[in-house]
Amino acid sequence: DKQIRLYGKFIHRSGLIYEDFTKGEPHVIDPFKIPDEWIKVAAIDHHLRKPEFMSFVARSPDGDAYIYDEVIDKGLIGEVADRMRNRETNMKEKLQYILIDSLSNTPDPITGTSARREYAKHGIHTIPGSKDKDAGISEVKKYLKINPETKKPKLFVFKTCKQHIHEFTHYVWDEYVIHPENKEQKQEAKDKDCDLLENIRRILLSFRRYESRDIEEEWNEEYYNELTAYRQQCAAGGGY
């Protein structure tokens, strides 16, 4: 309630999906230079009639995740892809992999091609992210929880990532969740203020799937094969 008063949010706290997120420390922090040895990944939330929403996340050796950049870019896929490659060159940034929403695999009924294939055609190779919204929300919640020993979460957002911060503080459950007397309906997140948060869900789930091969129950051979094929594509194409 204090946060709602401070930041002028007229959202019932029980309706917020990420109640633990604070619009300040410990979740929102000053930017710093990401060490070169940290894993960096990106995700694209593709839209036909809206801009492309891109999130960039670094993972520390301790397993903490840092949302360090965001890009909202409107244009043809070829134009967006060119700007992504220029960004990588200018920032001397090496991304481990790029995720994209699974619907980007759907062929366009007119052109017969898909958004994912168009990105690949322009040098941006991607891996379809998880479609499991419930698992993704649960994973983000785990990262946002404050560790009682360290007094810190495992997910941090740079102050410069203003749209991510906006979405964390405005992403809500549908109305019937705020009014629990309607008990028969399943809890669902509103499809609003969540473009970048969909990226974060996919990225955090991918960390568990791609980077935890030593944890047998978390590992899926299909994902390892996908990542291997992705890296081969990148090597052949000389780009992402």
pLDDT of the residue at 236: 67
Residue with tokens 């509103």: 190
What would the mean pLDDT of 118-147 be, rounded to a whole number?
Answer: 94
- CA distance readout (Å), 231 to 20, 52, 210, 220: 36, 23, 13, 17
Q: Are the C-beta atoms of 86 and 79 separated by less than 8 Å?
A: no
Global pTM exceeds 0.85: no
pLDDT band (50, 70, 90) for residue 176: very low
CA separation for the pair 230, 234 (Å, rounded): 6
Name the residue with higher pLDDT: 182 or 202: 202
**147: pLDDT strictly greater than 80:** yes
- pLDDT digit string, tens, across residues 36-85: 999 999 999 998 889 999 999 999 999 999 999 999 999 999 999 999 99
